[in-house]
Structure 1
């Protein structure tokens, strides 16, 4: 058994984490032993290793915030789960491991479907879903613009927008990313640049764009703001450029554009149990049925955690990096 552990944080994420031997006791009463099937590496995981994320666990820590596994052994007093059952792992439990013990009450049974797709359900899909629903009352036929459209959240957002009848303008940072976003159903796909607003108006026939979604920061935020109509809302949820959001005063003063932020962890703290169940109920059905999918660039064993983190931190990959224990 192995775990991916880090004792310090530093600027090169793959340098601070390593695979070490894991020893687990037998499951206690109310616990189960789970064999991890798949666990993704998200941008937030990389920022946690570098110390730049908004919520940092105490050290030493095990990497990974989401994933799925199969129940391998039941502790005493566990009756609602069975050996072999596919379950969603608790958020933030340290999922880059081959095995873990977890409270049975914190494990959510899942339908039999692709474990790799289900493993990515807890972070990116709800982020995409809530970005589309929490800030602007969009109607079928409305346009939405986003950057980092070839990211995990970007991919889910394209698919969810299409399912809800919205049209998407998708901005990427390199020409090689265009085809992948078009293949997923992006209505318009453009490479970012200072003339983005002009090209968006030409591609949409000058349609109003009321919602912009920014994961990059820096000048890219300003490019999106310039594309929005009067009263438009721009939502930032990431800092891929590692630069502060920049928006021209003209967008604020002359077109009354609003800049807001979104953090899924805060939504979890504030949302009721019923609201969470409604969001995850929809997403589980869509993923299990194959209507909502994410590209997987590569999979790595826990023993290959350094290579996996390096690949996840790279800007040239096409899809998500997953830890899939052997």
Structure 2
């Protein structure tokens, strides 16, 4: 089998990882061997390679935290999932690989015959979008939510999930060219960030009260979103694409009673019951299978081209996700 492995971390993520060839493993008792079909590269994966993510695996490690595959072989005592069944690979299993061995009891069966590239992105971005829409403010159909980094993977899912729930979205991007990328996304408002964002958003939404904002950029963009919210609104941060800490004025806190909170899916996992987790993923998997949810894909790469793939994922200006497809 082939794996993308790294034994150090450094500021240039593609420099620390390389494809290695190893013996294909046999599953032990209670395990299955999975042939990996697709595994995305997320911003958290890049930050893990540079050492900047909030949770780092011990070294050496295999890259990739999410992906899907098909059961290829059973270990002793295993009958399910059946050989040939598409499954969600457990988080952190090292999915940038042609094969993964995992405990059968930890596998979630997925619909066969569905695009594995779309299914491979199920674990992180769709639940992040879905939960940020429901865990902080009880939004009702017809209400507005505003987000920045709307052209990101999470941003795309948030637009689709909000639309399915009857919510309207004001979507902020950092460059004019990104608006064209979202033209057919279902977004209600598309707008470029700036110091007068609150004025332009008020005009575009008919001065609708916006109770929830979603921030993935940080820096001054946090304050720009805060100024768009209604008095008592909640702003949720889940990233810092600007590389800067969230900047928010005392006026937003003191005079407009804005609340700033953070969201990290790993923390939600620690608190949510297994049944709750399964319900969220089952619903999202169904929506992906029917085509209701989908993500844009910029390019796919084999494991052998992992350096090029990571470099592409770490670069700006993409119009979709980078995905590892181990067996093209």
Asked if residue 256 in structure 1 is aligned to residue 283 in structure 2, the reply is: no
Match of 1:182 in 2: 183
The CA deviation at 1:248 is 1.1
How far apart, in 2, do the equivalents of 1:153 and 1:25 lie?
Answer: 34
Q: Which residue of 2 aligns with 1:231?
A: 232
Alignment: residue pair count? 326
Q: Which runs of 5+ in 2 are unaligned?
A: none
User: Deviation at 1:180?
Assistant: 2.1
Q: How many angstroms apart in 2 are the aligned matches of 1:166 and 1:180? A: 21
Give the CA deviation at 1:116.
Answer: 0.6
User: Residues 121-165 of structure 1, C-alpha deviation per residue, up to 9 Å, x if partnerless?
Assistant: 000000000000000010001000000101010000000000000
- Residue in 2 that maps onto 1:124: 125
Residue pairs, 1:1-326, within 5 angstroms: 1-112=1-112, 113-326=114-327
CA distance in 2, matches of 1:286, 1:270: 24
* Superposition deviation, residue 30 in structure 1: 1.2
Shift of 1:7: 0.8
Structure-2 separation of matches of 1:122 and 1:82: 22
Deviation, structure 1 residue 308: 0.5
SS at match of 2:182: helix
Query: 8 Å contact 1:24–1:101 — kept in the other structure?
Result: no
Q: 1:182 is paired with a residue of what secondary structure?
A: coil
Q: Is the 8 A contact 2:30 2:103 kept in 1?
A: yes
TM-score by length of 2: 0.98
CA distance, structure 1, for counterparts of residue 261 and residue 104 of structure 2 = 37
Q: CA deviation at 1:182?
A: 2.7
For residue 73 of structure 1, report the CA deviation from its aligned partner: 1.3
| Deviation of 1:70 (Å) | 0.8
In structure 2, what is the Cα distance between the partners aligned to 1:279 and 1:81? Answer: 20
Q: Distance in 2 between matches of 1:89 and 1:150?
A: 26
Shift of 1:23: 2.1
In the TM superposition, residue 27 of structure 1 has moved relative to its aligned partner by: 1.3
Q: Tell me, in whole angstroms, the C-alpha distance in 2 between the residues paired with 1:278 and 1:100.
A: 25
Hey, what's the Cα distance between the residues in 1 that align with 2:323 and 2:27?
A: 26
Q: Is contact 2:81-2:104 (8 Å) kept?
A: yes
Task: Specify the SS of the correspondent of 2:255.
Answer: helix
Q: Distance in 2 between matches of 1:96 and 1:156?
A: 23
Deviates more, 1:73-82 or 1:294-303: 73-82
Give secondary structure in 2 for the equivalent of 1:53.
Answer: coil
